[in-house]
């Protein structure tokens, strides 16, 4: 099987053979954390005397570096770890794993490059990519003390928050459905708990997060705007370890350790909220006795090193929000559970020291259900997205000039729209909407090619095929399609090209062009990630969204990379964009796609970034000036209007200050232009009620948004048991109590007897200043 | 039940004590006021003659008093309705012009408490009831105000009557003084649309705050029983534990109407618009069916019953 797979992709390899054949020997292996044996993603390994001869570890920690035979000082660098150098006599192919230990630079917090990684932003060909190690994210101020990777992403230029306190985000003018969010390669369709105020990612179980907002490599597909690739920790291969925390609304615990030392490991992690559990005694005997709400997450991962060439990873996530509403007096109740499940099984295999393969089998779903009723009447609504995904990826490292990736990914989608049913005694009825099925397949190949010390290119192409599968009946001609029978099929070539020209050691120019297709769609006008969000596939009635992004950037570092700066410009052209028609009504009797209108979009802007990487004070300033517009023929005759994602100005200032060994101060300030909304233009009377007539779509703005958060982390020195380490975090969200509007509503009070009507509009602020305190701990078996 | 209600409950938990609201002054973007029409042609036993109210939309103001309210009603309009055979011009009348008995009856049908009304309602009525109001007929409306002209068309569909009406114990813990209203209809196969009103306890026929219209997507072609919520004046104070139930021993009226799809679509979008505000709302434009104005020209096939509330 493996041999066949190898030959299956031989033609791709031959394509590059003319350029890449040469007399080289290869150093390959894994780079790991010395403390726990976990592989390190994106660690740089290079010839210490010529940094251009280098590569970085892939998503599984594997590297392959081909050099001419000789003696080299091999250098390895990774964010937050001590530099590693070793002289290696490289006369023949050599497999070598390296281990890095965490170093003092870890204390230089925030999303900082360690000293050894200086100029990585300048040297990398990739544009708009940011890696976020969890250790850095955990030190920023957090709402109610809940560390949240998605909210940290919102502090980066080009990434805008979708709403107050929420984890939803817009990238470079793209909608929330245009972000591909992956957890161990499984798509997470709904990233929010509690209406999006918290993300589903439990920080303790996460190893690494990568955001790609421009120049998306060809290995990623299916979304127009960005990739957020979240990887769970593998589990400690060496020691048993436990960490957790207690916060105002939730507690969490993660346990990990070796199953067989250095060969296999496990990780289990859980989080649950309990605020309403604590309130249960107060609800007893009241109108809403038994009503409760909570959410929880459960992560688990197992890793087995079968041989030097084979590894298996099994990981999964299960999370739910649960609302149980009870009104015993009226026998009225409903249950509303919703959440994601992911399961990933991966096999890493080394065909040779230059050819790495990963095979993944992935299942993921998002399910929503509402079941409610009164006495004999029961009403139920269900919606879901389920994927079964198989993928094969190859990493081929022929020489230091080329790093080639190619593979195929096929996904079977089952999307159940809002299917409603009701039962009243013996009578039952259903909306009759059938699940929609589809197959999405993508082939890709990409090459990171260093043409010269100054010029490098990352070129690739993705070919995608999407078919609407039966059973379904065509709404156009009534043709019936049987199970797995392909109906409407879309294909797309998606070329990706980015290039870097190195002006000097600390300055480069980069440019990228990215074509993308998107076959699954979510239309929402809300600023939150809602459990009721419905994903719909491309069908004979809904064409794929298409996008092309042009980006250009200047990257320059100062003072030995202590200061890092960049300016990036982008322009996006978006076709087949989807929105709700003006008369959209959330109606269970009508398929949601019947409420869609189709149009085009454009987004353009400039992002400015300044970061300080070293010293007691670290942090960054990101500023984006941008426009995002949409035009739909069926909305006001195609008038271009600002999208709800439009933010003319978006500013983030993030700082960390190490007061001493025990105390650390974190701060963040955000400012953004007010969100666009469709205002009421006038009022009129019908049947004695006052109704609003709306003005043009998105023709008014809420007041500008700004907020300042502060946190103080106290980590006392362990006096006796150094294996145990605890820290206290005091956070203030919105410290100057800015009343940012969450939404606007109007209220009409009619006095029919006197004949007066009072009209008022209000802005609702949901988060004033919110202090919180949390305690976190970490126990490590052998950390003496 | 709209799922958004469930979302608001979650939001309520999330924001238990933190949310606050402040006045918001919107930019005044009101353009020229629009004409607003509500006009109905009913068929069925005991129904009203055709009538039309025409008013104008108003900009956002902190308070609209009786004077302004009176002023927004448009006077001196020419209102014609064509029933397929003849055109009837409606006559402008003000409630104060009507004899007391007629005024009270008319006011009740319009949902007005005429005894306590401090201002005069003026409307246009087929005062001699000349229109041929019957099931299955189509009507054309034309309104002229100065140089402005508004037109619309509607139908009165075939009536789908109530097969039975009955009252039961309220759900949950029994309450002797209250009853739940149930109705039964034999829904014909094919799309049908319904609207209903009930007596609010004072003799006025009003709609339910939970919505007044339904289609038959869930019970197409079935013999179907379902509960109806008692109508109430929007914004009036209510007790959640008794809301929607009828007082036993009272006499009440149920007005059950079959309407056409366009008429239904107006009320469906209108009521969604009224109820749909907040952070999870998508704004909805009402599907008005009048060319040149906001509002509705609707035909109703009416089955109206008055009965004693007894379990």
Express each pLDDT in A697-745 by its tens digit: 998 888 999 999 999 999 888 766 678 888 998 988 899 999 888 888 7
In this prediction, residue B214 has a pLDDT band, given cuts at 50, 70 and 90, of very high
Average pLDDT over residues B156-169: 94
When mean pLDDT is compared over A32-46, A150-164, A622-636, the highest value belongs to A622-636
Which bin fits A495, alpha (ψ -120 to 50), beta or left (φ > 0)? beta
Give the pLDDT confidence score for residue A602 in this predicted structure.
97
In this prediction, residue B77 has a pLDDT band, given cuts at 50, 70 and 90, of very high
Residue A184: CB partners within 8 Å, gap ≥ 6? A230, A231, A232, A301, A313, A315, A317, A342, A344, A346
Class of the CATH-defined domain B30-155: mainly beta
- Pick the closest to residue A90 from A109, A108, A110, A72 (CA basis): A72
Residue A772: CB partners within 8 Å, gap ≥ 6? A142, A143, A144, A145, A247, A248, A730, A731, A732, A733
Nearest CB neighbour to B282, from listed A372, A584, A692:
A584
Which residues in chain A have Cβ-Cβ distances shorter than 8 Å to B5?
none
A101 vs A668, which has greater pLDDT?
A668
Average pLDDT over residues A360-384: 87
Cβ count near A74 (within 10 Å): 20
Min CA distance, B135 vs chain A (Å)? 24
Average pLDDT over residues A589-613: 90
Residue A222: CB partners within 8 Å, gap ≥ 6? A180, A440, A442, A464, A517, A518, A519, A520
Min CA distance, B194 vs chain A (Å)? 15
Classify the C-alpha dihedral A109-A114-A119-A124 as positive or negative.
Answer: negative
Q: How many residues does chain B have?
A: 311
In this prediction, residue A496 has a pLDDT band, given cuts at 50, 70 and 90, of very high
Return d(Cα A568, Cα B73) in angstroms, integer: 58
Residue B126: CB partners within 8 Å, gap ≥ 6? B49, B50, B51, B81, B88, B90, B91
Instruction: Tell me the two tokens of residue A286.
Output: 């009241």
When mean pLDDT is compared over A557-566, A631-640, B227-236, the highest value belongs to A631-640
CB contact under 8 A, A325 and B10: no
Cα–Cα–Cα angle for A749, B31, A759, nearest 5°?
10
CB contact under 8 A, A682 and B58: yes
> What is the average pLDDT value for chain A, to the nearest integer?
85
Give the pLDDT confidence score for residue A754 in this predicted structure.
66
**A:B CB pairs within 8 Å:** 256
Return d(Cα A97, Cα A720) in angstroms, integer: 35
Instruction: Tell me the two tokens of residue A428.
Output: 């039952």
- What are the φ and ψ backbone dihedral angles of A538, each rounded to 5 degrees? -65, 140
DSSP character at residue A102: B
Instruction: Tell me the two tokens of residue B307.
Output: 């009965």
Give the pLDDT confidence score for residue B106 in this predicted structure.
66
Nearest CB neighbour to B30, from listed A582, A584, A682:
A682
Give yes or no for a cis peptide into A471 (omega within 30° of 0): yes
> What is the chain A residue with the closest CA to B217?
A589
Quick one: what percent of chain A has pLDDT higher than 70? 92
Asked whether A54 and A453 are in contact (CB, 8 A), the reply is no
Return d(Cα A87, Cα A75) in angstroms, integer: 9
- DSSP secondary structure string, A391-419? EEEEEEEEETTEEEEEEEEEEEEEEEEEE
Which residues in chain A have Cβ-Cβ distances shorter than 8 Å to B269?
583, 585
Return d(Cα B19, Cα B15) in angstroms, integer: 6
Min CA distance, A681 vs chain B (Å)? 5
> What is the chain A residue with the closest CA to B242?
A330
Return d(Cα A773, Cα A248) in angstroms, integer: 7
Average pLDDT over residues A565-577: 95
> What is the chain B residue with the closest CA to A277?
B13
Min CA distance, A758 vs chain B (Å)? 4
Residue B305 has pLDDT above 80, yes or no: yes
DSSP character at residue A591: -
Average pLDDT over residues A564-574: 95
Look up the pTM and report it. 0.86
Give the pLDDT confidence score for residue B153 in this predicted structure.
97
**What would the CATH number be for the domain defined by A232-780?**
2.40.170.20
When mean pLDDT is compared over A736-745, B75-84, B97-106, B163-172, the highest value belongs to B75-84
Question: What is the per-residue pLDDT across A163-182, written as a single tens digit (0 to 9) for each?
Answer: 777 777 899 989 889 999 99
Average pLDDT over residues A116-139: 70
Return d(Cα A589, Cα A379) in angstroms, integer: 13
> What is the chain A residue with the closest CA to B234?
A689
Asked whether A593 and A606 are in contact (CB, 8 A), the reply is no
When mean pLDDT is compared over A229-233, A418-422, B28-32, B57-61, the highest value belongs to A229-233
Give the pLDDT confidence score for residue A717 in this predicted structure.
82
Residue recorded with tokens 């080394």: A350
> What is the average pLDDT value for chain B, to the nearest integer?
84
SS3 B57: coil
Which residues in chain A have Cβ-Cβ distances shorter than 8 Å to B170?
330
Distance between first and last Cα of chain A: 47
SS3 B206: strand
Residue A159 has pLDDT above 60, yes or no: yes
Domain residue spans in chain A? 232-780
Interface with A, mutate which of B216, B218, B219 (most A CBs under 10 A): B218
Give the pLDDT confidence score for residue A9 in this predicted structure.
42
Return d(Cα A627, Cα A211) in angstroms, integer: 21
DSSP character at residue A276: H
Domain residue spans in chain B? 30-155, 162-289+298-308
Question: What is the per-residue pLDDT across A404-447, written as a single tens digit (0 to 9) for each?
Answer: 999 999 999 999 987 878 777 766 777 777 899 999 999 999 99
> What is the chain B residue with the closest CA to A743?
B279
Return d(Cα A668, Cα A160) in angstroms, integer: 15
Question: What is the per-residue pLDDT across A452-462, written as a single tens digit (0 to 9) for each?
Answer: 888 999 999 99
Give the pLDDT confidence score for residue A116 in this predicted structure.
42
CB contact under 8 A, A688 and B112: yes
Cα–Cα–Cα angle for B29, B34, B38, nearest 5°?
135
Average pLDDT over residues B259-274: 93
């Amino acid at each position: 099987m493996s041999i066949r797979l190898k030959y299956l992709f031989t033609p791709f390899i031959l394509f590059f053979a003319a350029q890449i054949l040469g007399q080289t020997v290869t150093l390959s292996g894994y780079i790991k954390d010395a403390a726990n044996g976990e592989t390190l993603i994106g660690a740089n390994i290079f010839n210490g005397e010529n940094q251009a001869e280098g590569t970085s570890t892939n998503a599984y920690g594997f590297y392959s570096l081909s050099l001419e035979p000789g003696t080299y000082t091999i250098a390895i660098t990774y964010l937050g770890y001590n530099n590693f150098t070793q002289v290696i006599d490289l006369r023949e192919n050599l497999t070598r794993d390296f281990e890095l230990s965490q170093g003092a630079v870890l204390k230089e917090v925030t999303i900082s490059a360690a000293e050894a990684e200086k100029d990585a932003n300048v040297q990398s060909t990739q544009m708009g990519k940011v890696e976020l190690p969890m250790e850095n994210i955990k030190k920023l101020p957090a709402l109610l003390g809940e560390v949240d990777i998605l909210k940290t992403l919102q502090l980066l230029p080009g990434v805008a928050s979708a709403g107050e306190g929420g984890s939803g985000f817009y990238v470079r003018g793209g909608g929330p459905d245009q972000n591909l969010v992956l957890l161990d390669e499984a798509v997470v369709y709904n990233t929010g708990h509690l209406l999006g105020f918290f993300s589903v990612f439990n920080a303790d179980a996460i190893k690494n997060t990568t955001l790609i907002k421009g120049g998306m490599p060809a290995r990623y597909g299916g979304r127009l705007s960005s990739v957020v690739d979240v990887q769970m920790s593998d589990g400690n291969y060496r020691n048993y370890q436990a960490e957790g925390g207690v916060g105002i609304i939730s507690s969490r615990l993660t346990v990990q350790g070796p199953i067989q030392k250095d060969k296999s490991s496990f990780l289990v992690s859980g989080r649950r909220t309990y605020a309403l559990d604590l309130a249960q005694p107060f609800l007893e005997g009241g109108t809403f006795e038994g009503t409760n709400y909570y959410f929880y997450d459960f992560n688990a991962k197992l890793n087995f090193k079968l041989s030097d060439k084979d590894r298996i990873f099994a990981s999964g996530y299960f999370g739910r929000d649960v609302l149980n509403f009870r009104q015993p007096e009226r026998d009225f109740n409903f249950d509303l559970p919703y959440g994601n499940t992911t399961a990933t099984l991966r096999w890493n295999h080394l065909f040779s020291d230059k050819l790495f393969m990963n095979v993944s089998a992935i299942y993921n779903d998002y399910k929503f259900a509402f079941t409610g009723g009164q006495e004999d009447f029961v009403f139920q609504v269900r919606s879901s997205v389920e994927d079964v995904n198989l993928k094969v990826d190859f990493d081929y490292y022929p020489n230091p000039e080329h790093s080639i990736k190619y593979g195929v990914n096929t996904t079977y989608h089952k999307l159940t729209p809002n299917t409603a049913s009701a039962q009243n005694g013996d009578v039952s009825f259903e909306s009759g909407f059938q699940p929609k099925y589809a197959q999405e397949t993508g082939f890709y190949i990409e090459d990171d090619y260093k043409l010269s010390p100054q010029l490098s290119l990352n070129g690739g192409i993705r070919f995608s095929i999407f078919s609407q599968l039966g059973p379904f009946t065509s709404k156009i001609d009534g043709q019936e399609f049987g199970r797995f029978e392909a109906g409407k099929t879309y294909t797309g070539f998606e070329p990706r090209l980015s290039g870097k020209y190195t002006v000097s050691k600390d300055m480069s120019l980069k440019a990228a062009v990215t074509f993308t297709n998107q076959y699954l769609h979510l239309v929402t006008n809300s600023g939150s990630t809602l459990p009721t969000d419905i994903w719909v596939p491309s069908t004979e009635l809904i064409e794929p969204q298409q996008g092309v992004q042009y980006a250009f950037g200047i990257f320059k570092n100062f003072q030995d990379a202590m200061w890092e700066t960049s300016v990036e410009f982008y322009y996006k052209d978006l076709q087949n964009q989807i929105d709700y028609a003006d008369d959209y009504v959330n109606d269970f009797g009508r398929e949601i796609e019947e409420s869609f209108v189709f149009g085009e979009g454009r987004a353009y802007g400039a992002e400015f970034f300044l970061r300080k990487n070293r010293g007691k004070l670290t942090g960054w300033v990101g500023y984006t000036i941008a426009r995002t517009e949409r035009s739909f023929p069926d909305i006001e005759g195609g008038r271009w209007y600002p999208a709800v994602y439009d933010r003319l100005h978006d500013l983030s200032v993030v700082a960390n200050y190490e007061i001493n060994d025990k105390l650390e101060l974190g701060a963040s300030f955000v400012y953004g232009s007010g969100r666009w909304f469709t205002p009421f233009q006038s009022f009129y009377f019908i049947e004695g009620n006052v109704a609003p007539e709306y003005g043009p779509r998105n023709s008014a703005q809420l007041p500008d948004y700004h907020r300042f958060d502060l946190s103080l982390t106290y980590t006392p020195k362990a006096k006796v048991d150094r294996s145990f380490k605890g820290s206290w975090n005091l956070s203030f969200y919105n410290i100057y109590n800015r009343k940012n509007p969450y939404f606007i509503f109007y209220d009409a009070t009619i006095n029919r007897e006197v004949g007066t009507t009072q009209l008022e509009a209000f802005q609702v602020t949901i988060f004033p200043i919110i202090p919180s305190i949390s305690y976190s701990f970490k126990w490590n078996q052998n950390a003496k | 039940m709209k799922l958004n209600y469930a979302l608001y409950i979650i939001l309520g938990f999330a924001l238990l004590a933190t949310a606050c609201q402040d006045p918001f002054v919107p930019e005044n973007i009101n353009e020229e006021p629009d004409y607003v029409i509500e006009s109905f042609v009913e068929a069925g036993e005991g129904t009203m003659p055709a009538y039309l109210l025409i008013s104008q939309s108003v900009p956002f103001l902190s308070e609209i008093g009786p004077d302004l309210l009176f002023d927004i009603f448009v006077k001196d309009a020419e209102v014609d309705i064509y029933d397929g055979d003849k055109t009837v011009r409606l006559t402008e009348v003000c409630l104060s012009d009507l004899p007391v008995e007629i005024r009270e009856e008319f006011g009740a049908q319009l949902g007005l408490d005429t005894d306590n009304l401090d201002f005069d309602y003026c409307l246009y009525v087929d005062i001699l009831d000349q229109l041929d109001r019957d099931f299955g007929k189509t009507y054309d409306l034309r309104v002229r105000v100065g140089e402005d002209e508004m037109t619309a068309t509607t139908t009165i569909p075939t009536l789908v009557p109530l097969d039975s009406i009955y009252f039961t114990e309220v759900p949950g813990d029994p309450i002797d003084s209250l009853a739940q209203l149930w109705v039964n209809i034999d829904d014909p196969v094919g799309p049908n649309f319904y609207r209903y009103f009930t007596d609010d306890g004072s003799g006025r026929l009003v709609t339910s705050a939970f919505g007044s219209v339904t289609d038959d997507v869930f019970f197409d072609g079935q013999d179907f029983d379902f509960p109806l919520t008692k109508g109430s004046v929007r914004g009036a104070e209510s007790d959640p534990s008794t809301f929607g139930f009828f007082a036993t021993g009272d006499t009440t009226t149920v007005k059950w109407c079959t309407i056409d799809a366009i008429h239904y679509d107006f009320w469906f979008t209108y009521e969604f618009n009224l109820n749909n505000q907040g952070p999870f709302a998508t704004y909805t434009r009402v599907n008005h069916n009048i060319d040149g104005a906001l509002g509705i020209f609707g035909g109703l096939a009416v089955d109206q019953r008055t009965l004693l509330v007894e379990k």
